[in-house]
Amino acid sequence: MQNIIIEKPYRFVPPHRGTGWPAFIQRFNLYGKYLQYFEGVQSYEVRGADRLKKSLDAKHGILLAPNHSRMSDPLVLGFLAKEVDCNLYSMASWHLFNQGWFKAWAIRVMGGFSVYREGVDRKSLATAVDAMVEADRPLVVFPEGSTTRTNDYVHPLLDGVAFVARSAAKRRIKEGRGDTVIHPIGIKYVFQGDIDATVRPVLHEIEQRLGWRTSEELRLLERVERMGEGLFCLEEIRYSGRAHSGDDMATRTSRLIDCILHPLEKEWLRVESTGNIMPRIKALRSRMLPDMIEGKLSPEERSRRWMQLEDIYVAQQISCYIPNYLQDYPSIDRLLETVERYEEDLKDKTTVHGALKVIIDVDEPILVTDERRPKGDEDPLMSQLRYQLQAKMTELSTESKIYGCE
């Protein structure tokens, strides 16, 4: 499990509001150098910047809502900021501020501030709303809530985006400050290297790690699909006692997630849940963590809860596997994403392959009003955001070359 759970009391980290450091970092393209070395992003293209520039010139309260397929997403938005000559504020998970002083400092001076995903973070929400009301900079919020490694598919969105946007719109209307808008942003990565030479060594390593005989004789697509089926069967056996290879993949995925989460929900929440996995995970963590943070537990109970948190993490990772994602559109980029997902799930890290080009595409703004969300109905604001974001990613998916047709 990656280090996303911090076993200590949460302390809100506010953003740095000065412009000196962001100007210095942009002038010398320090984020670009970081992206090239640590994330393999070697080039970029910004599209639709005029749409954001128009909102900036009108002094709208602006929320930028990008998809979130890679850890590099927050930094690549620096290319957009440079293009339109502005700085950004951004909500960042608190665990990122606990990965060394330099990373914490860098996130903060570039306008990042912490949000506690395992509870209600009123300071973070208030900071986000204030940023939109004042409209000194656009605010970046990733509505999917976590990285997914499915660049062409938008996962269920978190309602917090609508809460922040509506709260800001209400105050801006009351104070006569003008419109509040959400700009969906598509972030698309295109691999420009040799896919066979890149992923075969990774597949070979995974097969060795699992004690499997290597399958160099297979076509790459067949090899990747067979590996995915094998890895999924192992998790089914681990959590439910047997593989369910006769059922369709969507059914198997939903069943496996529930098999992991339902016993935990019964214990901690007294009720089994269904649907979007992220709120379910947040509810479980918010019940399990307080006593761990306060140090009230015996070593045995603390160890038991860490094992449960690891199971919850596995369920979250499984939810990122989209049934037939590779079969439906066997592109080079989906191949790379899939292999990176296998590697990440087994090793908690991935190989930096390089040769990535990123496209940052700003969509038309969504006007936010101060109307309350209809009770019991799907939020129309979130529905519109998801529709535009998925349409943008579907459009950008055509940038990927089909494997074997390069």
Structure tokens at 138: 């656009």
Residue 142's SS3 state is: coil
Return left, alpha or beta for 404; rule: phi > 0 is left, psi -120 to 50 is alpha, else beta.
Answer: left
What is the tens place of the pLDDT at every residue in 69-95?
999 999 999 999 999 999 999 999 999
pLDDT at residue 339, as a whole number = 96
State the pTM of this model.
0.95
The yes-or-no verdict on residue 43 having pLDDT over 90 is yes
pLDDT at residue 370, as a whole number = 87
Whether the CA torsion 205, 210, 211, 217 is positive or negative: it is negative
Q: Pick the closest to residue 157 from 296, 61, 58, 63 (CA basis).
A: 63
Q: By the 8 A CB rule, do 127 and 151 touch?
A: no
74/80 Cα distance (integer angstroms): 11
Unique residue bearing structure tokens 């948190």: 309
The length of the chain in residues reads: 406
What is the tens place of the pLDDT at every residue in 284-303?
999 999 999 999 899 999 99
pLDDT at residue 406, as a whole number = 60
What is the tens place of the pLDDT at every residue in 356-375?
999 999 999 999 998 888 87
> End-to-end CA distance of the chain, in Å?
36
Q: Pick the closest to residue 399 from 185, 186, 156 (CA basis).
A: 186
Q: What is the mean pLDDT of the chain?
A: 94
Q: By the 8 A CB rule, do 184 and 385 touch?
A: yes
44 forms bridges with which residues in the sheet? 358
What is the tens place of the pLDDT at every residue in 183-209?
999 999 999 999 999 999 999 999 999
User: Domain locations in the chain?
Assistant: 20-192+354-397, 196-347
Structure tokens at 247: 């059922």
Give percent of the chain above pLDDT 90. 86
Question: 202-211, 303-312, 320-329, 367-376: lowest mean pLDDT where?
Answer: 367-376
* Beta strand extents in 37-88 (DSSP E only): 41-47, 61-66
Which residues have C-beta within 8 Å of that of residue 310, sequence separation ≥ 6?
Answer: 1
Q: By the 8 A CB rule, do 344 and 350 touch?
A: yes
Q: Pick the closest to residue 68 from 320, 297, 340 (CA basis).
A: 320
Instruction: Please give the biggest Cα pair distance in the chain.
Output: 68
Report the helix count and the strand count for the chain, using DSSP H and E: 15, 8
For the domain bounded by 20-192+354-397, which CATH number is listed?
3.40.1130
